Amino acid sequence: MKDIYFDNAASTPVDPRVTEAMHDCLCAESYGNPAAGIHGHGAAAGKLIEQASVQVAGLINGMPQGVIWTSGATESDNLAILGVARFRGEMQGKHIVTSITEHSAVLEPCRQLQSEGFDITYLHPDSEGRISPESVKNALRENTILVSLMHVNNEIGVIQDIAAVGQVCRDSDTLFHVDAAQSAGRLALDVVAQNIDLLSLSAHKMYGPKGIGVLYLNPQRINRLQPLMHGGGHQHGLRPGTLPTHQIVGMGMACEIAQAAVDSESGGIERLRETLWSEIATLPGLIRNSANADTVCGILSVSVAEVEGESLIHALRGLSVSSGSACNTASDDASYVLRALGRHDSLAESTIRFSLGRYTTAKEVAEAAAVFRNAVTELRCYVSRMDEVIEHAV
C-alpha cells in the first residue's frame, strides 16, 4: 500500500498552482535583487513581492505595508515576542502573558526573556485546552506589554477565542500577538475585527513552500520592534537580508488560494475527519482529545489506552502520522500539551495526531482507519500474551 499522508499539521504538500507560480518566477527576468529597484530586473522582483504582500494582506484583512517576510512562523514568533519586549520593556513594562500550551516557538523566547528580567504569566487551559478571555483579563497588569496566544493548537487542534481575547487586550491597550500557523487557510482571519496587532504565518502549513513566512504588524499600532538580526535596512530595518522572491511569490499564491477556498474546503475536510473518528471509535479505550471543544477541521488527536506509544507509531506502517508536534520529536518527554489537559504520561505518550488536508480522500480515510484498528488490536493482543507469560513464570 502506498504511504498515506495524515501529517498536514506538520507540513502540507505544495499546491501545483503554487509550484507553477514559483517556476514562472524563477524562469522570468525577475532574478534581480528586489532591493535594487534602480534597474529593471530589481524592480521586477520588487513588484512581485508587492503583489505577494497584497495577497497575504487579503487573507487576513490587513494592510500590505504591515507584511514582514521571515523564514517561517518560528522566526515570526521570535521577532514578535523578543522584538516587542526588548523595544518596549524599559519604557512600558516587563510583563507578558501567554499560556503553557503554546508552541515552543513562543515558550522558548518567553523563557529567554525571563532570563533577561521579564515576568511571564503562563495561563493554564481547561480540560479541553481552552484559554478563557476572562483568565487573560485577570492576568493583565499595568506593566503588561504583550499577550501571545495561538489561534489553533498544533497538537490537539483546539480553537481559541482570539476575537474575545483581542477585545480584552484592546480595551487595556495591550499588544496582542497571535500565532496563526495552524489556522491560516482553515479558519477566517481578520486582524481588524479580531483586534490582532501581530500575527505569525507560515507558508508550508497552507500548501506553500518551506522556508518562508510572515510577521504581520498592525501599522496603526506598531511602528518599531527590536530586530533579531542586523545588517541592512531591509523591511523597515526589522529583518535584514535579500528577499527570496520565488518563495515569497509561492506564499502569496498560497494565501490567494486559501482565501478563495477557506469556507468550502474546511467543510469537506471536517466531514472526512468525522468519518475517520467514527471508523476507529469502535475500538475500546480511545480518548478523543478536546472532544467537547471547537477544533480546527483537519486535526484529530486520539489517546490510546493499553498500548505503548513508540510501538504504536512503528506499528502504523504505511501511515504518516505524528505523536504530537513535529517540532518536539527530538524529546522523549510526554507532550506538555496533553499533560496540561490532565493526561498521565503513559496516555500522553500513546497519542496519535491525525491531520487531514486539501488532498485527503475518502479512500485514504478508510484505509487509514483499517491500519489503525489492526495495529491497536495486534499490540493489545501482544501485551496480553506477554502478561500471561509473565504470570505463568511467576
What is the CATH classification number for the domain harbouring 317? 3.90.1150.10
The answer on 139 and 31 residing in a single domain is yes
Q: Provide the 3-class DSSP secondary structure of residue 5.
A: strand
Position 131 in a domain: yes
Q: Are residues 172 and 31 in the same domain?
A: yes
Q: Is residue 391 part of a domain?
A: no
Last residue of a domain, one of 258, 283, 314: 258
Determine the 3-state secondary structure of 223 from DSSP. coil
How many structural domains does the chain have?
2
In this prediction, residue 28 carries a pLDDT of 86
The verdict on residue 375 lying in a domain is: yes
Tell me what the pLDDT averaged over the chain comes to: 93
Same domain, 96 and 162: yes
Q: Which helix (H) or strand (E) holds 214?
A: strand 213-217
pLDDT of residue 29: 83
Q: Are residues 193 and 271 in the same domain?
A: no
- Which region among 117-131, 133-147, 286-300, 313-327 has the lowest average model confidence (pLDDT)? 313-327
Q: Rounded distance, CA 359 to CA 202, Å? A: 19
Contact by Cβ (8 Å): 11, 210:
yes
Task: With 0.85 as the threshold, say if the pTM is over it.
Answer: yes
Residue 366 has pLDDT above 50, yes or no: yes
Question: Which is the catalytic residue, given 27, 297, 327, 381?
Answer: 327
Amino acid residing at 267: G
pLDDT of 383: 61
Averaged pLDDT, 170-178: 97
Which region among 238-252, 265-279, 309-323 has the lowest average model confidence (pLDDT)?
A: 309-323
Residue-wise pLDDT for 92-150, tens only, equals: 999 999 999 999 999 999 999 999 999 999 999 999 999 999 999 999 999 999 999 99
Is residue 68 located within the same domain as residue 121?
Answer: yes
- Asked whether the beta carbons of 216 and 199 are under 8 A apart, the reply is yes
Domain span including residue 310: 4-10+262-385
Boundary-marking domain end, from 258, 287, 309: 258
Helical spans, DSSP H, in the chain: 16-27, 40-60, 73-92, 104-115, 133-139, 162-171, 245-280, 309-315, 336-340, 345-349, 362-393
Extract the C-alpha cell encoding 255.
494565501
Residue 330: predicted pLDDT: 47
Backbone angles phi, psi at 143, to 5 degrees: -100, 15
What cell numbers appear for 9 in the block?
499539521
* 300 within some domain: yes
| 155/281 same-domain check | no
pLDDT of residue 186: 96
Q: What is the C-alpha to C-alpha distance for residues 115 and 382, in angstroms, rounded to an integer?
A: 48
- Kindly state whether residue 306 falls inside one of the protein's structural domains: yes
Residue 327 appears among annotated catalytic residues: yes
Domain identity same for 232 and 331: no
pLDDT band at 1 (very low <50, low <70, confident <90, very high): low
Give 9-30 pLDDT, tens digit per residue. 999 999 999 999 999 999 988 8
Convert the pLDDT of each residue in 41-87 to its tens digit: 889 999 999 999 999 999 999 999 999 999 999 999 999 999 999 99
CATH number at residue 164: 3.40.640.10
**CA 105/CA 114 separation, integer angstroms:** 15
Report pLDDT digits (tens) over 331-346.
556 789 999 998 988 8
* All cell numbers assigned to 319: 501511515
Q: Higher pLDDT residue, 47 or 326? A: 47
> In terms of domains, do 283 and 243 share one?
no
Neighbouring CB atoms inside 10 A of 221's CB total: 15
In a domain, 393, yes or no: no
For the stretch 340-351, what's the b/e string if a residue is b when 16 or more beta carbons lie within 10 angstroms of its beta carbon?
bbebeeebbbbb
Residue pair 240/232 in contact by the 8 Å Cβ criterion = yes
Is 140 within the bounds of a domain? yes
**Is 319 in the same domain as 378?**
yes
Instruction: Say yes or no: 244 and 314 in one domain.
Output: no
Last residue of some domain: 258, 275, 293?
Answer: 258
The answer to whether residues 253 and 276 belong to one domain is no
Q: Is residue 143 part of a domain?
A: yes
At residue 394, the pLDDT reads: 55
- Say whether both 254 and 275 belong to one domain: no
Give the orientation angle of helix 245-280 with respect to helix 16-27, to 10 degrees.
170
Specify the range with the lowest mean pLDDT, choosing from 157-166, 222-231, 377-386: 377-386
State the virtual CA torsion across 143, 118, 326, 226 in degrees, nearest 10.
Answer: 80
Burial label for 9, CB within 10 Å (0-12, 13-18, 19+), is buried
